[in-house]
């Protein structure tokens, strides 16, 4: 199976719960490695650019406001089948529908404040990683 890289965000609600370590442990326990990481507060412009595909959705304003409300952890995760594997570790968008034991079931509060983001395809991963990291900031782990 191919080694892939994907983009992950630990969202402000999970950061407030002091859950970075627990969430990274779940990635590592499932075979993903951290190839890049930074903690920052997203600007409104960056959050809007990141979620541009949702700009016509009714929740867009609320989503941008939530994503800029506090620190986030931005990461590149690397491993076999990393894009799909990360989506499985995260669970469904709505924490109420997420399988038990997934990050969103454990740390999500509601469909908006759902603890983590993960790229939904290899193409999205490439676009999203390029938005937040310089090439030289991502290691081949
Ligand atoms: P995912 O993050 O699982 O790929 P989407 O791409 O559909 O899900 O949505 C992007 C993000 O927008 C979600 O992670 C969540 O934070 C937010 N979101 C999605 N649906 C809703 C909703 N109905 N109400 C509020 N926020 C939402």
pLDDT at 123: 98
Q: What CA–CA distance (Å, rounded) separates 138 from 10?
A: 17
Residue 140 CB-half CA count within 13 A:
1
Separation between Cα atoms, residue 105 and residue 102, nearest integer Å: 5
Percent of residues, the chain, with pLDDT higher than 90: 99
Q: Domain total for the chain?
A: 1
pLDDT of residue 136: 98
The first and second tokens of residue 110, run together, are: 């509601």
CATH code at position 33: 3.30.70.141
Phi, psi of 38 (to 5 degrees): -150, 150
For residue 115, the SS3 value is coil
Query: Ligand 1, atom 13: nearest CA belongs to which residue?
Result: 112
Average pLDDT over residues 9-24: 98
Its domain, for residue 10, covers 3-137
- Is residue 98 over pLDDT 90? yes
**103 CA distance to ligand 1 centroid (A)?**
15
pLDDT band at 90 (very low <50, low <70, confident <90, very high): very high
> What is the per-residue pLDDT across 61-88, written as a single tens digit (0 to 9) for each?
999 999 999 999 999 999 999 999 999 9
Mutation choice for ligand 1 from 93, 115, 116, 117, CB with most ligand atoms inside 8 A: 93
Average pLDDT over residues 56-64: 98
Q: pTM of the full predicted structure?
A: 0.98
For residues 50-66, give the mean pLDDT.
98
């Amino acid at each position: 199976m191919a080694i892939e890289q994907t983009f992950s965000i630990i969202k402000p609600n999970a950061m407030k719960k002091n859950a970075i370590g627990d969430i990274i442990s779940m990635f590592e326990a499932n075979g993903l490695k951290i190839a890049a990481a930074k903690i920052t507060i997203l600007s409104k412009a960056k959050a809007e650019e990141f979620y541009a595909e949702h700009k016509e959705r009714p929740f867009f304003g609320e989503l941008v406001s939530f994503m800029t409300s506090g620190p986030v952890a931005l990461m590149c995760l690397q491993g076999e089948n990393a894009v799909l594997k990360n989506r499985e570790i995260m669970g469904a968008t709505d924490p109420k529908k997420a399988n038990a034991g997934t990050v969103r079931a454990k740390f999500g509060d509601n469909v908006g404040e759902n603890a983590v983001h993960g790229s939904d395809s290899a193409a999205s991963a490439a676009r999203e990683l390029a938005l937040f990291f310089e090439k030289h900031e991502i290691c081949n782990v």
